[in-house]
Structure 1
């Protein structure tokens, strides 16, 4: 088992993340074939602005850098929200640095994010995965996440 430590992003880490995040998200959107990359970039930027209006100080948003020892291996962004009587959180983004992939870091980051959420009374942790992102889907299926909705689309 990999020993992962989550630490709140520094302002510098956030700025780097914020520059790269929307484009990465847009690429996942456009790979589905439902929109062009330029349209996906606009959508991604709008969503980031909506969710992170105050950067790392945005209410309900928790952005972490993940470390093994002193080495940063990835990031995770959690959104906490009250949904009726259930405290629910979303994994908005999970990223393992490309040079660190296939070493169990993604799984360890997920498990540490779950521990962090449990410590705050979160009862349900959810996420969305774009079609074609099989590695991420397999990771979460291996952690006993269950599909809730299958959304399908067709361009006309």
Structure 2
């Protein structure tokens, strides 16, 4: 099985990560039917609300995941009252479908255990079927469902 090491991001690493992560989030929102402009605006608003102090926002943790010296992905977690919420996890495009998503999630679980956290939550877009399948294989269960109707 593939294993990864989580290394905390530095503030300098955070800045380009933030721009890329926000752009990717906007693409995911646009895939739900919003215009690219509206999706970009919503993504910028969402990230500004979630991270008002950017890298220094309390209770938010940012890591890059490594296999040896090779960076294979990243993880963003917020901790609140004994619960970790995964806001973003991704695998670098060139190493997808090689078990790194699972390895990053298992590293997140280890970090949670090491920090006496008792629950992990996350949100996944319905169109991200690969991620949904992985999370279900790892024992995540659906706790809520958002629905929408275009008019």
TM over 0.5: yes
Structure 1 residue 119, shift from structure 2 partner: 1.4
From 103, 107, 110, the equivalent of 1:112 is 107
Q: 1:72 is paired with a residue of what secondary structure? A: strand
Q: Which residue of 1 aligns with 2:18?
A: 18
Structure 1 residue 136, shift from structure 2 partner: 0.6
Structure 1, residues 8-56: CA drift from partner, whole Å, max 9, x if none? Answer: 10222211111111110011111122x2221111111111112222222
From 85, 90, 94, the equivalent of 1:90 is 85
Taking the aligned partners of 2:132 and 2:86, their CA distance within structure 1 comes to 13
**CA RMSD across the alignment:** 1.0
Task: Please tell me whether residue 128 in structure 1 is matched to residue 123 in structure 2.
Answer: yes
Give aligned pairs, total: 151
Q: Which residue of 1 aligns with 2:4?
A: 4
Taking the aligned partners of 2:146 and 2:54, their CA distance within structure 1 comes to 30
Taking the aligned partners of 1:37 and 1:124, their CA distance within structure 2 comes to 34
* Ranges in structure 1 where 5+ consecutive residues have no aligned partner: none
Are the aligned partners of 1:51 and 1:61 in contact in 2 as well (CA < 8 Å)? Answer: no
From 135, 140, 148, the equivalent of 2:135 is 140
Taking the aligned partners of 1:101 and 1:144, their CA distance within structure 2 comes to 21
Q: Which residue of 2 aligns with 1:52?
A: 51
Q: Which residue of 1 aligns with 2:27?
A: 27
Are the aligned partners of 1:73 and 1:96 in contact in 2 as well (CA < 8 Å)? Answer: yes
Structure 1 residue 133, shift from structure 2 partner: 0.5
Q: Which residue of 2 aligns with 1:76?
A: 75
Taking the aligned partners of 1:95 and 1:116, their CA distance within structure 2 comes to 17
Are the aligned partners of 1:9 and 1:56 in contact in 2 as well (CA < 8 Å)? Answer: no
* Ranges in structure 2 where 5+ consecutive residues have no aligned partner: none
Structure 1, residues 54-101: CA drift from partner, whole Å, max 9, x if none? Answer: 22221010000000001111000001112xxxx111110011000010
